Structure 1
């Protein structure tokens, strides 16, 4: 039986943390504190009231504008909040209550912060990766191991090595943040699924960039952040990797 009450709690929990992930993703790469100063309008510098900090709903009630100066608020804020809330609750629906759910919630949290950071600065901060890596390592070696347990360690090596090789061959086609992120993803996913995550990241990037160029929104030879595509690819591989592999193999049997 689906526990809709707990799903609702996780959704609200995700909305709230999604708001915090926006702050982390915007401030950490800029070398700012995530504690002070208080959340404020970046245009008029006015501190935001409690009613202006309600995830998603404040954006809707204010019609996407600052109450003080009328400046448009980036839709990035409510998007990350809503996506985090839906992802938290969706993870429980797919995994149920288990130690693996903790891995999933941490993965979603990491990817939400990286999404914000890479969209705004085209940067994946080492501080964020260094914070999450020990948590994933501890879980994979104790409460939520992969089968076999060493798949996490091999996955980290494969993720790092693959991206490093591509960066060397392409002479900078992959950033250092992408390389280190795939090492962390390999730790979480194992070597099979980290390869799948890379495949889907490239696939999503090719499709979305192609659509963007066709629409005139993306210019040729202009760099675009790869982080958002890694986020999509990693989540696809994590939640649906085994099912997709089995489906693909079934096509030939």
Structure 2
């Protein structure tokens, strides 16, 4: 039974990942995504059902559009696969629980933010508003202990980036500030602080790697949103264990 549920969770994740990729690509450009059908980005031909099967359609078409034979970006395949893996990891870690619902919402936000920020260097306000309201309702039904930890988390997340923006005079985007503040509602103060710490480490490693391999230049902008959501997922799934280990190891 556990194998069946795991497969169901994974394939549900791939289906949602396909949709989230569309949202991340269209929302910043104010294009419809909820009811508008998918189409080839090259020839604009509307895609049929057989073209939209997550993972499978990409391999069957050998990564090419059936109509114009242009290459389809591998990012479509990557987003679908990673979303499925993240959903599966959350299920294996948390089981079918209320915490799993929070994890799925966090993964959903993370995937859309990553696509949007990597493609356009933009984190849409409408996206953050939608998930911010969802997190508020979720924490009203499943509150943290104490309940006001969600408020502290939001203030902490917003305040941390605000201070950096103020000191650096714009060294980081306001979208990142609003993103971490939104995540703080779900995570609470301690996990928000951990998220910021992990995001800085992740962002530093990635940016230095890109500099070494000359993918970006020293003055080129670098999207920090994916690092923030990456840190938030680690914090949500493993943060409490990490903090417990830290305090037990370094504080007697």
Give TM-score scaled by structure 2 length. Answer: 0.95
Deviation readout 1:60-119 (Å, 9 max, x if unpaired): 222222222222211211111111111112111111122111111111111111111111
What secondary structure does 1:29 align onto? helix
2:82 alignment counterpart: 83
2:155 to 144, 154, 157: 157
What secondary structure does 1:32 align onto? coil
2:103 alignment counterpart: 104
d(CA) in 1 for partners of 2:210, 2:199: 16
2:198 alignment counterpart: 200
What secondary structure does 1:28 align onto? helix
d(CA) in 2 for partners of 1:13, 1:32: 24
Summarize the Cα distance change of 1:173–1:66 in structure 2 as closer, same or farther, 3 Å threshold: same
Deviation readout 1:175-203 (Å, 9 max, x if unpaired): 12111111111111101110110111110
d(CA) in 1 for partners of 2:41, 2:91: 36
2:61 alignment counterpart: 62
Between the two proteins, the alignment pairs up a number of residues equal to 251
d(CA) in 1 for partners of 2:148, 2:14: 34
Give TM-score scaled by structure 1 length. Answer: 0.95
After TM superposition, the structure 1 stretch with the greater mean CA deviation from structure 2, 210-219 or 241-250, is 241-250
d(CA) in 1 for partners of 2:71, 2:167: 42
d(CA) in 2 for partners of 1:147, 1:36: 39
- Residue 214 of structure 2 is aligned to residue 221 of structure 1: no
What secondary structure does 1:163 align onto? helix
Give every structure 1 segment of 4 or more consecutive aligned residues whose post-TM-superposition deviation is greater than 6 Å. Answer: none
1:182 alignment counterpart: 180
d(CA) in 1 for partners of 2:34, 2:147: 37
1:236 alignment counterpart: 234
2:6 alignment counterpart: 7
d(CA) in 1 for partners of 2:158, 2:49: 42
d(CA) in 1 for partners of 2:34, 2:184: 31
- Return the offset for 1:122: 0.6
2:140 alignment counterpart: 141
2:210 to 209, 212, 223: 212
Deviation readout 1:130-182 (Å, 9 max, x if unpaired): 1111111111122x211111111110011111111111111111212111111
d(CA) in 2 for partners of 1:195, 1:5: 36
What secondary structure does 1:45 align onto? coil
- Return the offset for 1:36: 5.0
Consecutive unaligned residues of structure 1, counting only runs of 5 or more, are none
